[in-house]
Structure formats: structure tokens, C-alpha cells
Amino acid sequence: MAADFAARYPEASASVQVVLEPQATTTWENVGYAADLIPAGGVVRIVSDPYHVPRASQYWARRFPDRAGELRPGASGRFGEHPLLATGALVYARLVRPVRGRLTRPRRR
């Protein structure tokens, strides 16, 4: 993963310390594990697809409100990169995800 990041963003990986968190299976877990790896008071940049970065940023602010000020804009892919994946992610983020929570919650009687 680190080699992939360095190949895609050589200007970033040459000037900063890149920390990749490999054990999480969800974005929520990834934010939690990553916080353990990044010293408090540092700069946090989330690098992902354009539709994933806002959600991950919200999770960071929700889980660590005292560290929310450490979050800075990060790379979110390149225009035209993985067009099918980006389209699917957009549809899911804007249409399916908001409805999914309402469908799976038990009804109150």
C-alpha cells in the first residue's frame, strides 16, 4: 500500500510521513486505528475517493472532537480515475446510504 501511494503521489510522499492503517474493515475502524498511529497535535489528511473523504472526515470529527482541528484537506483521487467505481460510489453515497438506515431500523409501536 505504501508503495502504491508513493507511486501515485510522489510529491506528497517525499515531503511528509505517510501512515497507512491496514487492519480496519470499515471506515469507522480505520479512523480509530489511524488516530492511535498519529500523535496528537499533528496534521491529518485523509486520502481516498472524492465521495469517501467527507464521510471519513465526519467520522474523525465525531470520534475525536478534541482533534478535529488537526484535519486538513487531503487528496481525493484524480478526475476520470476509476469512472465506474466513482459513479457507483456517488450513487450509493447520495441515494442508497441515506435510505438504508431508515429501512433497517426497527419500527416503534
* pLDDT > 50? residue 1: no
* pLDDT > 90? residue 97: no
Q: How far apart are the C-alpha atoms of 57 and 75, rounded to whole Å? A: 12
Q: How far apart are the C-alpha atoms of 52 and 46, rounded to whole Å? A: 9
Question: pLDDT digits over 44-94, tens only?
Answer: 888 777 777 888 888 999 999 999 899 887 766 565 666 776 677 667 777
> In the structure grid, which three cell numbers stand for residue 50, read together?
472524492
- Give pTM, 2 decimals: 0.59
Question: pLDDT digits over 36-45, tens only?
Answer: 888 888 888 8
